[in-house]
Amino acid sequence: MIKKTLLLLSLLPFLVQANDYEKVGVEVKAENLNENAYYIPGLSGSATEYEGFISNAGFVVTTEGVLVFDSLGTPSLANAMLEEIRKVTNKPIKLVIVSHYHADHIYGLQVFKEQGAQIWAPKGTWDYLNSETAPNLLNSRRTLLYPWVNSKTYLVEPDRIIDKDTKFSLGNHQFLLTYFGKVHSDGDMSLLSLNDQTLYSGDLIFEGRIPFVGDADVFRWIKALDRVRKTEMEYFVPGHGTASDQPQETMGLTYRYLNFLVDQLTLAVDEMIQFDTAYEAIDWSEFEDEPAFEAANRKNAYAVYLYLESVFD
């Protein structure tokens, strides 16, 4: 009887049941990339489309346990991801690396925290968590993404803050975290699985669609992309879009687009041309057929315009 009790206690971290969370109607499926590296490909859409399943996540299986990269946009999606992990291994979920604290990457954290995982996040995370945006957006998503985000969904605080490039091991695997600072969000970092030569970039890269700029530091974002483009890797997982064994090609759209915005709008700001006039005069033909152009491009351009005004003021 004692042995059975001890066995049950040892298994408690793995016993989160699917019925603890609302079932999802979208297909959440793990794809193997290289050796022990996997990713969960999200769908291409806006924040509340496809039950919030619009970003990527990933995981790496080591001899000591599982490392998870990002946690998707709802607890229900994260629970579906956990079920996919369990098809591969029953090893414990040891660590979750969060690329940045944006809703579509963090609302699933509670699922993995309940599994006993440590949460590591980049410096800048607390700027988000202590802002008005964090609780306000969660309340909004409890309506827009109900029942997958609901009153039981909560913001998970990190156990460790990463503020510099950090190399570490988990079991037989070596990893490198590259810290970029405030780039796409209040704080961004990527993860390179050295054993698998697989890089998980978070939202530094949007593949196959126009990226979301928001209040990004565009100059630092472009510099970060220069660093990422020099990284040796075999497989690449962007924050949104399809993973690839052609990393440079996958990174190309985001890199070209951000440089184009800066080049075109710097001229407008220098010559004090009003935004509407400048926007209409720009030839957007290189990007206008890309997914999310209609939804995101004007907002992105205006955000970059305001950013450049503040830099050159």
Query: Which pairs count as long-range contacts for 256-259, CB under 8 Å and 24+ apart, including other chains?
Result: 256/286, 257/210, 257/211, 257/287, 258/211, 258/213, 258/218, 258/221, 258/222, 258/225, 259/222
Nearby residues of 1 by Cβ (< 8 Å), 6 or more positions away: none
Containing structural domain, residue 41: 2-246
Per-residue confidence (pLDDT) for residue 10, from 0 to 100: 44
Count: domains in the chain: 1
| Residue whose structure tokens are 């040891």 | 94
Distance between CA atoms of 109 and 113, rounded to whole angstroms? 6
Per-residue confidence (pLDDT) for residue 102, from 0 to 100: 97
Per-residue confidence (pLDDT) for residue 20, from 0 to 100: 83
Query: Is residue 17 assigned to a domain?
Result: yes
Per-residue confidence (pLDDT) for residue 19, from 0 to 100: 46
Query: Is residue 260 assigned to a domain?
Result: no
Distance between CA atoms of 123 and 127, rounded to whole angstroms? 8
Is the whole-model pTM more than 0.75? yes
Run means of pLDDT, 10 residues per run, the chain, 313 residues: 44 49 97 96 91 97 98 98 98 98 98 98 98 97 98 98 98 98 96 97 92 93 94 95 90 94 96 96 96 93 96 82
Q: How many CB atoms within 10 Å of residue 286?
A: 11
Per-residue confidence (pLDDT) for residue 188, from 0 to 100: 97
| Residue whose structure tokens are 């800066």 | 262
Q: Identify which of 155, 160, 161, 211 has the alpha carbon closest to the alpha carbon of residue 183.
A: 211
Query: Is residue 26 assigned to a domain?
Result: yes
Query: Is residue 276 assigned to a domain?
Result: no
Pairing of strands 57-61, 37-40: antiparallel
Q: What is the CATH number of the domain that holds 82?
A: 3.60.15.10
DSSP H stretches of helix in 96-205: 103-106, 109-113, 125-129, 133-144
Query: Is residue 261 assigned to a domain?
Result: no
